[in-house]
Structures are given as C-alpha cells and as structure tokens.
Amino acid sequence: MDLLEDQIRSLPHAELLGHFLQMREEFIDYQTSSAEMEQMLDAEVEELKSQLKKAESKVSQLSTDQIRNKDRQDESRAQWAQVEEQLRRENGQLREQSDQQKERIRKLEQRNDVLETSERNKEYLAFDLGTKLDHAIEKIAMLESELYERQVASEEMHRLREEMRTTERPRLIVEPLRNDPEVLPDEPSPGPSKSDLTMSSEDVHMEDVQQHQDDFQMEETITKIDEVCIDDNKNVQDKFSENSRVFGDWRRRMHQSNRQRFDDKSGTSRLYSVDDPCHEQCF
C-alpha cells in the first residue's frame, strides 16, 4: 500500500506499526523472491555463458571450417581450372584429330572410288583381253592348221621338185645339144641362141644350191611360225607380226629370185614363180 509522507505522519502508532510489519513481511517476501530470482537469473546467466562458450567455440570451429573449406574450395577451383584448361586442350586436339580423320576418311573414300573404278576397268579390260585371247587362240589355231596344210603342201612341192630335178635336169643339159638345128652362118635362127639354151653343170649346181637354200629358209620360217605361244597376248602379237614379216620377206626374196632366174634363163627350164599354180597352191 503506497502512502504519502503526510498521511504517514498523520497515522497513529498502531497503524504505523501495522504498516511497518506489513512492509517488513513484504520486504522479506521480496528478498526471498529476489534471492530466488537472482538464483534463477544466475543459473540462466551460467547457462547462457555456457551456451555462449559453446556458441563461440562452435563459431570458431565453423570459422576454422570455413577457412579450411575456403582453402579447399580455392584449391579445388584451381584444380578444376587446370582440369578445365586441360580438357579444353584435349577437346581442341580431339577436334583437330576428328577433322584429320574426317579428311582422311574423305580421301580414303575418294581413293576407294578410284580403286573401284580401276577395278571395274581392270575387270572390263580382263574380260576384253580374255575375249581377244580367245579370238587370238582361235586365230592361231586356224593359222596353225593353215600352216600345217602349207607345210604339207611345201613337203609335197619339195618332193615334186626333187622328182623333177632328178628327171628333167639331165634332159635340160643334153636335149639342147641333140636338138641343135643346122643353121647357115649368115642366117640367124629365130628364138633364143644356142648359148642361151645351154646350161653348164655349174649353173645347175648353183640353181640346186639356191633352191635348197630357199627350201631351208621356208622350213625355218615355218618352224618359227610354229613356235608362236599364247603365254602373253602382247608376245603373241609381237611374235606373230615378226613371223609374218619374216614370211613376207621370204616371199619377196623368192619372187625376186624366181623372176631374176626366169629373166636370166628364159625358156631353158620351168621355174616356180609366184604366178605358178604349184606356187599358188603352196602359198
């Protein structure tokens, strides 16, 4: 109960004593409650202090962890920066290698196309060469058959020449002497003279040698033509051309030789020229 100073002075002693006792009880209650409150506050303070210490230690620990984590983060960031730079370099190298591989693949595809085209050309060429080879084989077979027939005809002609040489040549030497007509000295006889009709043994021998050489050249030419092989198309063509040239040269030499001998010894003997049916049968 709150009283003013004038009111307190105006109160009697008993009431003042009652008020005093009441105030003392209130004071005692206040002290008791304040002590309890102080104890509670002290307990709370101690608890708060302990919590503060824990919080400070936790803060310091968290600060340490933060610093450590920051260092780790910086270190990790530096490492990741290095890794990123390395990955960028590797990515650049891989892109360059990829471009090189693409260029190489493109070149290989072009080369493959060229090889396929070349392979097709080779197959076509091989087929063409095979066809030409078959035609060449057929032609060579026909030529061999023809050469065999010519060889048979040549042997037959050679045999006939030998027979004619053994039967007619002695008569060519003797008959002009037997059948020499009596002609006056002042009158020239018609036709070839006696000296043109006479043939010495040396002329006959030279003619036999020349004929034997011609026959030997013909046999050699036929032998060369028979040796044509079909191992290679180019070799076959070259050999065939060479043998044809040799055969043509031999025919020209025979023609020139027969013509010269016919001009030199016209009317004395029957010679085998190009216009001769036997010669045509042979060639």
Tens digits of per-residue pLDDT, 201-216? 444 445 555 555 655 5
Cβ atoms of 197 and 268 closer than 8 Å: yes
Mean of pLDDT over the chain: 73
Same domain, 68 and 152: no
Same domain, 251 and 149: yes
Same domain, 79 and 142: no
pLDDT at 165: 79
On whether residue 153 sits in a domain, the answer given is yes
pLDDT at 240: 57
Q: How many domains does the chain have?
A: 2
Cβ atoms of 243 and 220 closer than 8 Å: no
Q: Which tokens belong to 245?
A: 């040239």
Same domain, 152 and 15: no
Same domain, 155 and 228: yes
Same domain, 149 and 256: yes
Residue 36, CB-side half-sphere exposure with 13 Å CA sphere: 5
On whether residue 218 sits in a domain, the answer given is yes
Domain boundary among 88, 118, 149: 88
Q: At what angle do helices 201-226 and 233-264 cross, to 10 degrees?
A: 170
Q: Which tokens belong to 95?
A: 């892109």
Q: Which tokens belong to 134?
A: 């078959």
Same domain, 146 and 79: no
Assess whether pLDDT exceeds 80 at residue 271: no
Cβ atoms of 180 and 194 closer than 8 Å: yes
Same domain, 248 and 154: yes
On whether residue 103 sits in a domain, the answer given is no
∠ Cα 272 274 275 (to 5°): 90
Same domain, 62 and 168: no
Same domain, 17 and 147: no
Assess whether pLDDT exceeds 60 at residue 156: yes
∠ Cα 156 157 158 (to 5°): 90
On whether residue 77 sits in a domain, the answer given is yes
Assess whether pLDDT exceeds 50 at residue 272: no
Q: Which tokens belong to 44?
A: 């709370």
Same domain, 165 and 274: yes
Domain boundary among 73, 88, 103: 88
Q: How many CB atoms lie within 10 A of CB 61?
A: 10
82: containing domain = 11-88
Identity at 70, one-letter amino acid code: K
Same domain, 157 and 34: no
